[in-house]
Amino acid sequence: MPQGPDPTALAEAARILSRARSILFVTGAGISADSGLPTYRGVGGLYEADVPEEGVPIEVLLSGEMLARWPERTWKYLGAIERACRGARPNRAHAAIAEMEREWPRVVVLTQNIDGLHREAGSKDVIEIHGDVHELACTRCAWGERVADYERLEIPPHCPDCSALVRPAVVLFGEMLPQAALARLGKELKLGFDAVVSIGTTSVFPYIAAPVLAARSSGAGTVEVNPGETEVSGVVDVRLRCGAAVAMEALLSAVRTGIVR
């Protein structure tokens, strides 16, 4: 049975959230681990080998430049990532955040994940900073479509309207983050949050660590849910050193009981 969070740390984290009217959840691959999805460098085993079978590093194969030059190579590995996500369902951590969105005045999710599980769980205020693997877009015209999986796609797929290459609406290596998502994140950070909770991410990207650091500087409460050490472990107010699902279920329950208010 998964080990739960330390009771003292749990009570302190619950106090932070029970006093907050606005919360930002920053999530990474670790929140989807309990849904059966591998964390980064474990996606379908892609990142475990130093060099894939083409003799090219995976960061090159999954780059915007490679997609433009040899789309069949990039799509081969995009397909492997999608297969690793296929059939996954939101877990208790996703559900807890969605429930909190319905119960708190303002709850926003900033996620690095491209699996779409936050929205499937019911969260509506989600910033998918790296996109969604299920959203397809033409590289030439305005055609786009949401698909459940890639099973029936021709690889690489082409646009039914103009025959140009189709790609998933995700950020590949070497590509810029989507301006709309960045603008939305900037707007939310300007409004500020009473609490920021980092879940299942190493926070190595500056734009992922920044909300936690800003909250800490402003006096807002900060909580981290992660069994390992991360870039923000040393600055947060409270650490729940366990898996996301068990931590979030315990945290939501602790707040709802009112014993920490």
Residue 161 · residue 141 · CB < 8 Å: yes
- Give the tokens for residue 41: 């460098």
DSSP state of 3: P
E strands of 116-248, at which residues? 126-128, 131-138, 144-146, 166-170, 195-199, 221-225, 238-240
CA distance 28 to 212: 14
CA-wise closest residue to 244 among 1, 27, 47:
27
* Active-site residue, 118 included: no
Which residue is catalytic, options 94, 130, 134, 158? 130
Phi-psi label, residue 163: left if phi above 0, alpha if psi -120 to 50, beta otherwise: left
For the sheet containing 144-146, what is the strand order? 144-146, 131-138, 166-170
Give phi and psi for 258, each to the nearest 5.
80, 5
Catalytic positions are: 130
